[in-house]
Amino acid sequence: MSKPTINDVATAAGVSRATASRALAGYGRVSESTVSRVQSAAHKIGYQPNEIARSMRAGKTRTIGLVIIANFTNVFFDRATKVIVDTARDLGYQVLIYNTNEDVRLEREAIETLTQKRVDGLIVVPSTDEGHEHLIALTKMSTPLVIIDRQLSGVSATTITTNDSMSCEAAVDEAVSQGHQRMGFLIATPTVTGFQSATPVLQNSAIESRVRGFVAGTSKYKHVRAEWLFSEESPEVALAAVRNLLDSENAPTILFTSNNDMVLAALKVTGERGLTLGKDISLVTVDDSPWLDAIVPGITSIQRPVDQLAELAVRKLAEQMEEKKFVVEDIQLPTKLITRGSIAQLNE
């Protein structure tokens, strides 16, 4: 059985097709009684308007494309996705979400698909610092675009990031104030296979910002010994990297991890070795989460304003899509060090 059409509605309501269209779309001169009769007829026969076709005729689809890393163990992207969807809905937009897995090839495919679907604008988390000609092409076509979490050069688009460097440096200062001199840093990056101590080419500005902050912190103190490991985000590799740090000749008294995947690995290894967090080993991580405060002791973390960033991204994009404002902005939001009980006090 075929779906009811606007012609069926018009017949059922005893009006012309044009009148039925105006009554259901809410435009033109149609009496309240006629609108009521048409709406009643549409409901009775089960008519559903084709919103996509209507939007295409109007030149807008009321949809946003979100190109993001959909790793739901990553609290930042998980939360950002929810806030973006909620904020967009409040503004009358729907969101189409594509996961890139930090792969620029998938990113290009996602953006091509979304532009073919005629989304009104795009929010993108770039997979890499390089190879973003597809994003430059969007700006040349005046496609509304907001980049979040990572900075790019050569792309004329509003960018919203967080100042991770500032709080990572503050975290090192906090550890030194508690007497820690041997520090281990576990940095997740897709640019390595396994783990290594040598600093690789880092894939994006977010990782670079954290490393820059940790380096700035340790370089201020001549008595601080820092050991670095850069790891792929495989759980098995991350566990091996933590074990490697703790088995070194002068094992660190405190571990700094760059994201939630790495902190989970640190917790698993300390648990399997019977180490007491905040006493036998100390821990600091980037990206706060409710569970970090729920365990005992709570884990000190760098809190990024994910809700503010995600909502701001949608509103800045909406300004472009609705042509209220188009000014390329570089917005950097402050982060905050949340101190809890996971840093042992060694200088008592």
Task: Please give the average per-residue pLDDT across 147-156, as a whole number.
Answer: 91
Q: Report the half-sphere exposure of 25 (CA within 13 A, side-chain side).
A: 17
Please tell me whether the peptide bond between 126 and the residue prior to it is cis, using omega within 30 degrees of 0: no
pLDDT of residue 1: 57
Tokens of 291: 């569970």
pLDDT at residue 120, as a whole number: 93
CB half-sphere exposure, 155, CA atoms < 13 A: 28
The model's pLDDT over 166-188, given as tens digits with 9 standing for 90+, comes to 999 999 999 999 999 999 999 99
d(C-alpha 22, C-alpha 35), whole Å: 8
CA 157 from chain centre, in angstroms, equals 17
Is it the case that residue 326 has pLDDT exceeding 80?
no
pLDDT at 54: 56
CA distance readout (Å), 307 to 20, 142, 220, 294, 295: 43, 27, 33, 20, 23
User: What are the DSSP E strand ranges found in 92-222?
Assistant: 94-99, 121-124, 145-148, 158-163, 182-188, 195-196
Task: Tell me what pLDDT residue 69 has.
Answer: 80
pLDDT in tens, 111-128: 999 988 889 999 999 988
The band of 325, judged by pLDDT with boundaries at 50, 70 and 90, is low
Phi/psi of residue 277, nearest 5 degrees:
-70, 135
**Domains of the chain in sequence order:** 6-49 (no CATH), 63-162+306-334 (3.40.50.2300), 163-303 (3.40.50.2300)
In tens, the pLDDT along 187-234 reads: 999 889 999 999 998 888 999 999 999 999 999 999 999 999 999 989
Q: Are 166 and 211 in contact (CB under 8 A)?
A: no
* Structural tokens at position 14: 């005893």
Look at 20 and 338; give whichever has higher pLDDT.
Answer: 338
Instruction: Give every CB contact of residue 340 below 8 A, 6+ residues apart in sequence.
Output: 292, 293, 297, 298, 299, 300, 301
Cα(175)–Cα(282) distance, rounded to whole angstroms? 9
Per-residue DSSP letters for 163-195? EHHHHHHHHHHHHHHTT--EEEEEEE-TT-SSE
Entry pTM = 0.82
More confident residue, 29 or 254: 254
